[in-house]
């Protein structure tokens, strides 16, 4: 009786092993499994590259806009150097930034070579707090004084839950800051 039970167990194990070996040879659906594993990773890489490129374009355009606006200011092409006028000039040159004039914060402060530029964090628009125009320093400075200019704007991510944008420091609204800065010397009178 014991031999019969042992023989039945061997036969059952043999049939199970044959099924497993047969299933291991069957490759139907293997490409689908590879596709499901690889494609999401590749798409995340592609979207991250696109997001990083778009972030660089916006950063470069803000830098360019600030540099050209400050150049106009140094050359005396800006007759009324108010924050609104300089913001408008920056936004004219940085054409790619959405809602530029409403989202741009401009800071203008004098500094000395011994003290250096301001070390405080830049002030940016925080739409989540409802503060659209936070207080910033805007001091035109005296003749022959070195001036530090900092512009900050907030922009939204194209793909907020993927790769590059997920790793960026963001506000409560999911927007991240783009900051540009420059320095110039006020012309003597």
Could you tell me if residue 20 is inside a domain? no
Could you tell me if residue 60 is inside a domain? yes
How many domains in the chain? 1
Integer Cα distance of 83 and 131 in angstroms:
18
The answer to pTM > 0.85 is: no
Could you tell me if residue 176 is inside a domain? yes
Could you tell me if residue 37 is inside a domain? no
Could you tell me if residue 91 is inside a domain? yes
Q: Which residues, including other chains, have CB under 8 Å from residue 161's CB and lie 6 or more apart? A: none
Could you tell me if residue 54 is inside a domain? yes
Could you tell me if residue 106 is inside a domain? yes
Could you tell me if residue 105 is inside a domain? yes
Contact criterion met (CB below 8 Å) for 93 and 65: yes
DSSP codes joined into one string, 63-120: HHHHHHHHHHHHTT--SS--HHHHHHHHHHH-TTSTTHHHH-EEEEEE--TTT-S--S
**Average pLDDT, integer, range 29-34:** 76
54-86 pLDDT, tens digit per residue, is: 889 999 999 999 999 988 888 778 777 888 888
87-133 pLDDT, tens digit per residue, is: 899 999 988 888 888 888 888 888 877 777 777 777 776 655 555 55
Q: Which residue range is the domain that position 154 belongs to?
A: 42-185
């Amino acid at each position: 009786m014991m031999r019969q039970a042992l023989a039945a167990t061997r036969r059952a194990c043999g049939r199970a092993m044959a099924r497993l070996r047969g299933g291991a040879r069957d490759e139907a659906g293997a490409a689908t499994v590879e596709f499901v594993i690889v494609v999401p990773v590749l798409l995340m890489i592609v979207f991250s590259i696109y997001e990083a490129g778009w972030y660089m374009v916006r950063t470069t355009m803000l830098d360019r806009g600030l540099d050209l606006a400050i150049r106009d200011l140094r050359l005396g092409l800006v007759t009324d150097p108010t924050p609104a006028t300089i913001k408008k000039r920056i936004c004219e040159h940085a054409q790619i930034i959405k809602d530029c004039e409403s989202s741009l914060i401009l800071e203008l402060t004098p500094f000395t070579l011994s003290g250096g530029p301001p070390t405080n964090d830049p002030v940016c628009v925080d739409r989540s707090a409802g503060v659209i125009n936070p207080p910033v320093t805007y001091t035109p400075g005296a003749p022959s004084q070195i001036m530090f200019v900092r512009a900050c704007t907030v922009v939204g991510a194209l793909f907020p839950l993927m790769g590059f944008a997920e790793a960026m420091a963001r506000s409560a609204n999911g927007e991240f800051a783009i900051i540009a800065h420059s320095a110039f010397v006020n012309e003597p009178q």
